[in-house]
Structure 1
Amino acid sequence: MNERILISELRHPSLINMIAAFQDRENFYLVMDLLSGGEIYIFILEIIKIYSEEETSIQSSFSSFIIIAVEYLQSQDIIHIDFKPENLVFDSEGYL
């Protein structure tokens, strides 16, 4: 419940936003933004093996998105404890 309350109060373009929450007798459901672009883990660690200068530049922009999101969370007095590549996902336009 604490996570649901916390997520429902956050609104930022660099974070997945919660649309709704509901539960049945056995499960609790969170309806979140659809991010159909996949995980950064697959993109960086599995697809790209050798980095060109252009790919390194793209990864720098990924870092910028991460920093912006973390700064926002810190401004809300939140520390993210599950920060890993599997939790970094792209939207359909390629934004992290």
Structure 2
Amino acid sequence: MNLPRPGAYEGHASWTGRDAAAAYYNASLQRAAGEQWTPDRIGASWQQCPAAEQYTLDLWFARESGPEDEDDDQPSGPLRGMTNGWARAPLPP
């Protein structure tokens, strides 16, 4: 993800459809095990999932980066300098 400018960002992550999609995937895997589906058949089943997942990451620029934002645990690159743990909290799969 490329951010428009260096600095400290705050944000909010949200998603919809995750529970319905997970239930479909789990049911597909159980059925696949019972019926001995091939990997191609499992993939085809997942492509037909009726539940759509949507993930939203809403970030906003909070301030310029300062020395207090430097943390060896943070990633380098465009996410460096993000605060409140957002850079370390991955979005759900």
Same fold, TM exceeding 0.5? no
Where relative contact order (Cα < 8 A, 6+ residues apart) is larger, the structure is 2
Relative to total residues, which structure has the larger helix share, 1 or 2?
1
The structure with the greater share of residues assigned to strand is: 2
